[in-house]
Chain A
Amino acid sequence: MNFPLDNPFYHFVYQLINTAGIGGLIVIVETILILIAVALSLRGITNGAKVDEPEVYAYPTPALHHHNGQD
């Protein structure tokens, strides 16, 4: 039992992992962050429909990618 728990840094880390509620908080924050990221990306895709491009594709074709980047 010579783990340096009296070292303030390790003590802080131990408190972090040993405090009831922090784990749950992390799961909740994680869920919220993922949901926000997904929602933003989906909104980006939805908003893409507003861009004024007359031709639509049922699936990506070479024609779609050919205009991309001009390389």
Chain B
Amino acid sequence: MPKWSMVIDLEKCVACQACSIACRFENNTPVVSPELAWEGREMRWNDVFPAPHEESGDYPNTKTHYLTRPCMHCENPPCIKVCPVQATFIDEEGLVRQNYARCIGCRYCTVACPYGVRYFNWFAPEFESPLEQHLNPDKIEGRGDLEGPAVRPKGVVEKCTYCVHRLRKAHARAEAEGRDFRPDEYMPACVQTCTGKARFFGDMNDPDSTVSRLAESDRAFRLLEEVGTHPKTIYLQEGK
């Protein structure tokens, strides 16, 4: 069973936000008006923002360090521990997923997540024309499930899934072609689109995979290691 992991090389990242945009179109994240965004109601499963307390240099020659942040897909996720109805759960491949059909909208997981990767649908999502003609039709649906890029109802929590629908599709393709599924067949949209080729994705259980090797680098670190969440999204330090 693969253990999916992402490595983000901050040295290569140019903070172009292409990952954020790719994620938005891949996952049908609703857009909000500038006023609502100002109120803090915008949704960016994959966010790019200045790292807090990370400015370097003396005025006026300061440098802001940017952080791109998908879900950490922690091995010990604080969010799934607090969900009262198991609407969020960690699957056997280590992906932390969110079931929109079951979420009761108590927002306990958004409160518990120290990374702030979880977003709440304050209003019913609206897609202005022509956006609504370009929605990604993919979704994961089943009895009592509604996941992935499926358009969310109002009042539920949503989050980055490492594009779990792409994983499903890759599995289905391998099955249709009658062969074994290879871990390199699957990659989230943000990794695929990354301008600086700063993102790597792969199977952590395979010691020869790119991510395994990069994770051994002495530049590798994880966000907020002190809170004991054991993230599977790994960063490579900048400027070292």
Contacts and interface: CB of A to CB of B under 8 A. Distances in A.
A18 B85 CA distance: 10
Interface of A: 1, 18, 20, 23
A1 B75 contact: yes
A23 B76 CA distance: 21
A20 B75 contact: no
A23 B86 CA distance: 11
A1 B76 contact: yes
Nearest to A20: B86
The 7 closest A-B pairs by CB, nearest first: A20-B86, A1-B230, A1-B75, A1-B76, A20-B85, A23-B84, A18-B86
Nearest to A23: B84
7 contacts: A1-B75, A1-B76, A1-B230, A18-B86, A20-B85, A20-B86, A23-B84
Of A1, A18, A20, the most chain B CB neighbours within 10 A belong to A20
A23 B82 CA distance: 13
Contacts of A1: 75-76, 230
Contacts of B75: 1
Nearest to B84: A23
